Structure 1
């Protein structure tokens, strides 16, 4: 039960001889041999572990596995590793005691140690006096990691021992990484002595410094560990007796060790960001009772995230309960389990829900409880377990709820939506189930990527499909994936189908419509159609959103997860063929049209992108047709006159039928039609269709030949009218009293008539890029107006009518690039305002716009004698989230600028500004352009994610850049005086770095462990790049016009490199061996005159561009270019001579020659400017 580890005598520390220590492998996949590697027998053991079972890997044991689940990861292991991880490894400790033997060995340590043993607690007692060497050995390191709780016993001489300090640093690391508990004992010192390193602790640290045996970093780590642990709540012995003291400690430890940490599904992929986000709301630093609700579609990982949170919170609770599978469990049973788990004893069985509610209130109201309710699907469950008013438990309780239905979370303090993973984490999770490792083998990369796309980044699907394909050959993979492209996996389907079956009939119909036809459609447009079918779409769409079955994406577009879309289509297909009501595949649709027995039941016909359709068929036999979708039938020239017989047709979609010039007159007989889309067609006029009295949506955008339009017959019903980029020169005649949105962008309309005041329901008016000359005062009569967009109307001059202040619902006003000179007082309802590009415009006073969230403002002098405009009001806009501020006249910013606490995005284009003010500290994105700025220091912006510095012609240095620990993207452009940058190693999260137009920059220093994109251009003095290890994970590398750069060290280790582009590097004489670049798909070389050879097997190469590399003689292995799809080799005389040989057969499509290629477009560049969305 207890192990006291004693080490043999060895050379004294003073001898300077270091014992050999084995490197511990902390790999996330367990550290054992991979499935594709032969298992190697290690010294001392025959099972792949060292010493006959002692750990050779810090996560290859049950206890470390348990601890790992508390970090913020989903644990992933191949099925073959699960049994191995379930076996507890010996020695296995619950408590680790750290002490200075000369101080406490025969006193409190022995007493406590034996008390723990007597209580059945497995303890590890280390004797630091018996150690040798400079480092903690692997056994001791493992003992600390395996323990659930570490107890440092702080005595007067504790800090005098380097061993004790090393142990303490390891304890703190385990606490921060894995949530391990530290419970300090202050034996004969005060906590403040430890925390502040005063008295004997200060003397001990100084003694270590004086010995000059340890690096400054080591000393700082020791001091930081003392400071952190000294702040923790622990025990102070003082005048108390050892018996009473140890009894208290043992009782507390027994309570802690009895807690059951929940096992997390075997999948470890990082979820740190989401865990941290929720812990900020409900963690130990929060007071009061907190309820958090996690919602998302089935299989997205809600239970995993909730379990991680539960484990991280568990240390602060004596009373805890996890109620799983609530959907399928009776409420009374759940109530019984809740009471029994919290009280830790069997209780009399509850007979009814009301009795259970009474018992929970009476017996648990004084308890501080941690409760996890998993998979809640009814409000009655919450009412019976926690109450929907005030929580029934004591102050400080935490409740975590997971559900698919957002509607159930109205009572929670914080809601968190969990969406599917990004591609990188999805591939990692899939690989661990399919291969038992973090990434797929080279021959499986493309198939694995395809599998991830089929799974739609959904954790449940990734786990199931990955396990299904485990240990199968490539042919089996191809067959399975081909099947999954059309038919979802049965287990995944059944899991997702639960949500569908819980819907009402109308909700199911709308969901199936979206899956089959309307992914990517504007909600407003399709809503009109469902309205005509009396489906009450607003309510149904809200239900679908709350249950995470659909989302409303940017641009008000409908979005459905691929797995759910496929599920919906399978449901439609499973219905009997003769009753099939929806057809979305055009080949299948044509077959249905030719089958009489199916024609009468057809309600939805989708012939999207049918390439051979010249004329529509006769529709006489399709009387029940409600939706006809012919979008993208680019050869269609005629719509059959029989379309007038479709009395139930509510949607006609003819978008992108570019050869369609006319519409049949019989269309006026479509009395049920609510939505007509003719965008991107060649129609020239829209006649007066008197019979279309229900038409609500007319889309005619980009009908460039359309010049006439008569809407008198349907104007009263129209809600949405889009004439973007047409030849319309005046507003059609009619009564548009129902119109909600009017789009006249890029039209020839010069003037809006005063009759526009009759559009009493208009909410959105879009006029951008039109030749409009004036805004009418009648705008002030449109009381429902919420958005006016008139950007880039170059002929729009004068003033905004003062009547605009009447628009009490106005939220968005865009007036960029106009001639407007005066801005009147705007309504306080405004949330977004865009005013740029006009030298005549006076600086407005916006002090009343306290609800403003987005402001884009360019302030300029009207003449050189103007005073600088005042912006003192800007600090009062406390809700501002995004700010773009520009102007030549601004030399300072208001002193209250830093009060904008909610500001996240900031762009300053201020060429007269000499120094930056103190910026708001919550900024995530900062882009600055300023010619006069000489130095900047942004080290206090700890939350900054993206930084762009452009056109600062006087900038000499950027101070403390390395302190921006959360920075992810850095873009430095056009800084002619910048000579050097600080070491960037501290930017642990930086994944994109772009440096352009910095001619005096000599080197870029540091090791960027997360870097994926590097773009360097026009850095004429640059001779040295980042640490070679930086290139290990890089995916896109683009270097051009850096003439002093001779070599790129580390490129040979770039295992993830996809795009490599090297331009204008005259001193580059060779590329290092690219054999390890198995993912390289595109290689672009231009004007590298000294380059002689390209070495390596480029098995994934798809594109090859080489130009003006006149010394290039050969590829070392052209036979590996089997996946090459295109290539262009020009002005490479020595290479062109050998291209005709058989070994270059894979370059058959190569374009060769010594001529200049006109209009050559450089394709290698993958640089993406940091531009904020405004």
Structure 2
């Protein structure tokens, strides 16, 4: 019979309450985990949550049977399981705690370990004896008869600690569903996959200590007799930041500092950074040892270079360096996460400081002071040491340095960097690099090159064929390569803000190019027409290339994969290219192309185009013929096209499924008001029917002479039976009105009072609308009314304005009056 203990628990301080509970249980039940009591800090809410998840009071047949406790090494999974076991085991007919299952498998081997664990379960639960003479099959049969016999059901609690491989669970052949009603199985592990295959009903991830708990544990270890009145608080904060709330690391560091003079703590911290604590690293390395070779390589890359970076960025670099599909790396990263080596938050991969230290320790290997033997370099002092060395051969395969001020590097012999034959990944963020006139030659089979501020006028590689990505933003490059090179694997090229670049190379060298970014190359005057031969190109940016006057895709244009073309800020561009071959173009931005007066007539063939911006094309005379029955256009922006003298009539009426969602026709000062009425009317009405069915935003605020909405006024819209009910998303901004179909509200500008007044109209099916001023306040625009016409961008504000909810109109006015 189980022993029932009546506990009268007082409301004590959190950090002592669990200790007292555990002491009472130990006194009553003589349990074995009493020596952990002193280190139980902040564990109370975690134990309460675990009890809640176990649902011990449930009487359902399908109640929870398996609870997984998951987390990184050293976080306290075993401690949680021990305290939970001591607290709840009295409620079961039989119970056992099998500690460190993985060690049992390592010590006894895969053949004998399952039997040893089954014997331990029998000994602890039913005090079975004389098992040494039994065969493995006999022991398994006894286990089933004692614990899984429906005729003699037992409510059993089994805790399996540190089960880190799926095979360990499989070979135990333990079926939690066959145990007696109310039984529970608790598994602690670093590997989430173990819990998935074991059929865990729920998984509890053990959190790190919070800041107060971490400080309390550190002070307890560093000052056994209580902390002194004066302590070096800034050093303690550095130590805690280094340990990053991991209990194992805090305890180890605190123990090291015990009885050490506080003035030496700073030096001790630097020693730990140079040579991490072995007792901490050995615990963490068990997780590293569980992943395969490819996953270990990825773990080391993240530990040395990419912790905190976006997941898709890391996958992209890994794919470039290894030539593998990104999906393969995604699978590897997920398995690394399941083994508690990384976490993924907000699409970013994060890694605990101690795990980063483990990765760097593994890279250093047997040569912690000789970086020429390391496969990876992440600190500039190590790079300096390598470049200073006369050793011809070295093991460096990847170098990633962030924000390095070259003026502080005394021994940076940059010329020797180009001699690294094993180098495949190079990412440099150098600052204040002096101007260099010579052109170095990379003698390496480089696959991924990213060099911010590349200081040389050109780029030469001895071997080009392996290069997958070439990124030289903010470089001093004048020309990339002279003759045609063979670069069949090059997928991406970024030369953005390379202000000295005057002409692009012949793109016949890189037929597989997918992405090309030439943003901000302000002195670029010529784009080689071989660019039109890039069949795989899907992204091309020439934004802010203010010296570019001509863009020609050549007579044999094959840009059928191009989806995004950015030409905004090309202020010297005289005419647009022929768009006929761009059969999949989705996004075309020609904003602020101020020298552009006409567009190539092939614009009308872009049936897949969804976004077209001509905003600020102040010299554009003829609007493009793009609105036709085959158009997929969602957004058309003609803001600031002040020289447009005509808007083309639609040659074919829109079908009711027309896609246009947003139309902005602003500031056409030379356009007849009636022509705007005709144009908008053709877009939206046909025989009294509203045919532009997806239109959600119409901005006519800068059509200064336009005072009425097409087809008469707002009253006409209300009189069109069923129209507003079918298209409630419509919002319209005018020179002296704002209208929302969704609410039935519109604001009319009273010129005399200088205010915007809310007007409402009652629909037939509505009994009443809020009265003016009941939910909205009048907006006093007497001081700013003349500036209303400067409002350009209301896309983000309109959904709020037209929602019918209370709005801070003073903020709204402030936003639109900028």
Which residue among 647, 651, 667 is the counterpart of 2:448? 651
Preserved CA contact (<8 Å) 1:611 1:635 = yes
Q: Which residue of 2 aligns with 1:404?
A: 190
Measure, in 2, the Cα distance between the counterparts of 1:931 and 1:265.
61
Measure, in 1, the Cα distance between the counterparts of 2:730 and 2:88.
49
Unaligned runs of 5+ in 2: 1-9, 105-112, 540-561, 618-622, 635-658, 667-679, 685-695, 702-708, 710-716, 718-722, 746-757, 763-771, 778-798, 813-818
Measure, in 1, the Cα distance between the counterparts of 2:57 and 2:307.
43
Preserved CA contact (<8 Å) 2:42 2:209 = no
Cα pair distance change 1:600/1:464, threshold 3 Å = closer
Answering whether residue 742 of structure 2 is matched by residue 868 of structure 1, we say: yes
Answering whether residue 76 of structure 2 is matched by residue 328 of structure 1, we say: no
Measure, in 1, the Cα distance between the counterparts of 2:154 and 2:590.
62
Measure, in 1, the Cα distance between the counterparts of 2:447 and 2:246.
35
Q: Which residue of 1 aligns with 2:398?
A: 604
Shift of 1:28: 6.1
Shift of 1:637: 3.2
Cα pair distance change 1:453/1:769, threshold 3 Å = farther
Answering whether residue 426 of structure 2 is matched by residue 628 of structure 1, we say: yes
Specify the SS of the correspondent of 2:274: coil
Q: Which residue of 1 aligns with 2:55?
A: 283
Shift of 1:889: 10
Preserved CA contact (<8 Å) 1:711 1:733 = no
Measure, in 1, the Cα distance between the counterparts of 2:532 and 2:495.
16
Which residue among 469, 479, 490 is the counterpart of 1:695? 490
Q: Which residue of 2 aligns with 1:1138?
A: none
Preserved CA contact (<8 Å) 1:332 1:350 = no
Cα pair distance change 1:768/1:258, threshold 3 Å = farther
Specify the SS of the correspondent of 1:485: helix
C-alpha distance after superposition, 1:384-415 (max 9, x if no partner)? 44657x73323443333222222223232333
Q: Which residue of 2 aligns with 1:65?
A: 19
Measure, in 2, the Cα distance between the counterparts of 1:711 and 1:890.
63
Q: Which residue of 2 aligns with 1:267?
A: 39
Root mean square deviation, CA, Å: 5.6
Measure, in 2, the Cα distance between the counterparts of 1:793 and 1:350.
88
Specify the SS of the correspondent of 2:161: strand
Answering whether residue 337 of structure 2 is matched by residue 545 of structure 1, we say: yes
Answering whether residue 331 of structure 2 is matched by residue 533 of structure 1, we say: no
Measure, in 2, the Cα distance between the counterparts of 1:147 and 1:790.
77
Measure, in 2, the Cα distance between the counterparts of 1:571 and 1:266.
34
Equivalenced residue count is 614
Specify the SS of the correspondent of 2:177: coil
Preserved CA contact (<8 Å) 2:14 2:44 = no
Preserved CA contact (<8 Å) 1:291 1:401 = yes
C-alpha distance after superposition, 1:114-154 (max 9, x if no partner)? xxxxxxxxxxxxxxxxxxxxxxxxxxxxxxxx997xxxxxx
Cα pair distance change 1:506/1:819, threshold 3 Å = farther
Measure, in 2, the Cα distance between the counterparts of 1:340 and 1:561.
39
Measure, in 1, the Cα distance between the counterparts of 2:37 and 2:270.
28
Cα pair distance change 1:802/1:349, threshold 3 Å = farther
Cα pair distance change 1:611/1:422, threshold 3 Å = farther
Measure, in 2, the Cα distance between the counterparts of 1:818 and 1:367.
74
Q: Which residue of 2 aligns with 1:571?
A: 362
Q: Which residue of 2 aligns with 1:494?
A: 282
Shift of 1:448: 0.8
Unaligned runs of 5+ in 1: 1-23, 31-58, 70-87, 95-145, 149-256, 783-787, 806-812, 824-834, 849-856, 872-887, 893-909, 916-927, 935-948, 954-972, 975-1174
Preserved CA contact (<8 Å) 1:522 1:558 = yes
Measure, in 1, the Cα distance between the counterparts of 2:761 and 2:96.
60
C-alpha distance after superposition, 1:80-111 (max 9, x if no partner)? xxxxxxxx8xxxx88xxxxxxxxxxxxxxxxx
C-alpha distance after superposition, 1:310-337 (max 9, x if no partner)? 4565465333322221110133222222
Preserved CA contact (<8 Å) 1:371 1:400 = yes
Measure, in 2, the Cα distance between the counterparts of 1:371 and 1:687.
68
Preserved CA contact (<8 Å) 1:325 1:375 = yes
Preserved CA contact (<8 Å) 2:235 2:265 = yes
Specify the SS of the correspondent of 2:121: helix
Q: Which residue of 1 aligns with 2:534?
A: 735
Which structure 2 residues correspond to residues 526-925 of structure 1 after superposition, within 5 A?
A: 526-531=314-319, 532-533=321-322, 537-554=329-346, 556-576=347-367, 577=370, 579-597=373-391, 599-606=393-400, 608=402, 609=404, 611-612=406-407, 616-618=414-416, 621-638=419-436, 641-646=439-444, 648-657=445-454, 660=455, 662-664=457-459, 666-667=460-461, 669-683=463-477, 690-701=485-496, 703=498, 709-710=504-505, 712-713=507-508, 716-718=511-513, 721-722=516-517, 733-737=532-536, 747-748=568-569, 753=579, 755-757=581-583, 803=632, 867-869=741-743
Q: Scaled by the length of structure 2, what TM-score is found?
A: 0.61
Cα pair distance change 1:466/1:361, threshold 3 Å = same
Preserved CA contact (<8 Å) 1:447 1:478 = yes
Measure, in 2, the Cα distance between the counterparts of 1:369 and 1:890.
70
Shift of 1:671: 1.9
Cα pair distance change 1:386/1:303, threshold 3 Å = farther
Preserved CA contact (<8 Å) 1:724 1:744 = no
Shift of 1:618: 4.2
Measure, in 2, the Cα distance between the counterparts of 1:792 and 1:912.
41
Specify the SS of the correspondent of 1:391: helix
